[in-house]
């Protein structure tokens, strides 16, 4: 103790030095552990890069004969070109009226004008319509009051109904019995029920699909023209269902004349439960020639979806 008292500063300094050495040892041990972990992580990253660079079958950047990077760029360009060409067949249908500041008066006037134009076009094409037909807009035709927030949706439907109807007119179907659309406003709830289908639009990450149903009468050649018209259109149309029955059978079943469409259960060549129509017997035609084929008028209901590509796609 006497020595410590005489050499107090030396003893304190020695103690501090011992503590510092102990702290240094602990720090070095921790650093070693950290370095070992970092080295292990680095080796794992290196192994992964080595596999990507050529160590994994089917996952290489190429060799002196095959440049996979350039191939990927070429394929990307091909996909982009295909998407551009495909986009030419999914052009949006212009709303009626096409206005960014749509008013009730503008829509009402445009709707009445469009209905009148379609009636004239049908007459020019020789297509019979129901009396004073409104093309599914019976509820909106004679009013200037519309449910809040419905004008833009209705304007889009007017444009789509006009485009669908004109495809049928171009095919010269014999008669258009009805066009049916989905309900998009509170006004539609109180509307004429034969104007609507009990479905809703489908939305996904790529597009909005809006269903319609059209019922018309024609022969098979005009039906082919209608399907060709939808296929050749620059707008996105998908025919998702078809129901065909001879007009005579439909009349016997009491279902003629634009009844509400409730969905398809598949191809139906005739009304369920009806007896098949007898095949026309071969008989003598003009000049004594036998009648080989006597085609019947058909009543056809098509379910058509309008595809509107989502913005930015």
For residue 98, give every residue at least 6 positions away whose Cβ sits within 8 Å of its Cβ, in sequence order, or none: 155, 159
**Domain CATH for 99:** 3.30.70.60
Extract the runs of DSSP E, i.e. beta strands, from the chain: 175-180, 202-203, 207-218, 236-246, 298-309
Res 276: pLDDT: 43
Instruction: Give the pTM.
Output: 0.64
What tokens appear for 67 in the block? 């440049």
Write down the residue that tokens 């007898």 correspond to. Answer: 278
Res 204: pLDDT: 80
Average pLDDT by consecutive 10-residue portion of the chain (313 residues)?
A: 58 59 60 68 68 52 68 76 68 89 92 96 95 93 88 94 96 95 90 90 85 94 93 90 84 50 41 44 55 76 89 62
Q: Which domain holds residue 32?
A: 7-52
Res 175: pLDDT: 95
Res 138: pLDDT: 93
Res 258: pLDDT: 42
Res 34: pLDDT: 66
User: Do 33 and 146 have their domain in common?
Assistant: no
Q: Is residue 175 part of a domain?
A: yes
Q: Is residue 275 part of a domain?
A: no
User: Do 43 and 116 have their domain in common?
Assistant: no
Q: Is residue 221 part of a domain?
A: yes
Closest CA to 167 of 120, 125, 115, 134: 125
Q: Is residue 68 part of a domain?
A: no
């Amino acid at each position: 103790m006497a020595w410590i008292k005489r050499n107090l500063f030396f003893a304190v300094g020695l103690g501090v030095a011992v503590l510092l050495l102990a702290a240094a040892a602990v720090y070095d041990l921790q650093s070693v552990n950290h370095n070992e972990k970092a080295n292990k992580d680095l080796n794992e990253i290196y192994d992964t890069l080595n596999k990507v660079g050529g160590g994994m079958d089917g996952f290489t950047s190429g060799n002196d004969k095959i440049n996979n990077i350039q191939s990927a760029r070429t394929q990307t360009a091909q996909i982009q070109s295909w998407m551009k060409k495909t986009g030419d067949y999914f052009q949006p249908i212009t709303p009626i009226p096409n206005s960014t500041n749509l008013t009730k008066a503008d829509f009402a006037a445009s709707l009445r004008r469009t209905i009148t134009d379609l009636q004239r076009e049908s007459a020019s094409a020789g297509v019979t319509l129901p009396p004073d037909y409104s093309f599914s807009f019976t509820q909106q035709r004679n009013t200037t009051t519309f449910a809040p927030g419905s004008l833009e949706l209705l304007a889009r439907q007017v444009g789509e109904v006009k485009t669908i109807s004109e495809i049928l007119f171009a095919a010269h179907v014999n008669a258009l019995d009805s066009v049916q659309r989905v309900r998009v406003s509170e006004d539609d709830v109180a509307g004429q029920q034969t104007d609507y289908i009990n479905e809703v639009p489908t939305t996904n990450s790529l597009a909005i699909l809006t269903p319609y149903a059209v019922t018309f009468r024609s022969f098979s050649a005009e039906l082919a023209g209608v399907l060709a018209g939808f296929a050749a259109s620059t707008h996105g149309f998908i025919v998702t269902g078809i129901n065909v029955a001879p007009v005579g059978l439909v009349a016997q079943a009491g279902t003629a004349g634009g009844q509400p469409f409730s969905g398809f259960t598949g191809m139906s060549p005739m009304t369920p439960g009806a007896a098949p129509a007898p095949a026309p017997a071969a008989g003598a035609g003009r000049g004594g020639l036998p009648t080989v084929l006597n085609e019947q008028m058909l009543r056809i209901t098509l379910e058509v979806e309008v595809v509107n590509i989502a913005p930015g796609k």
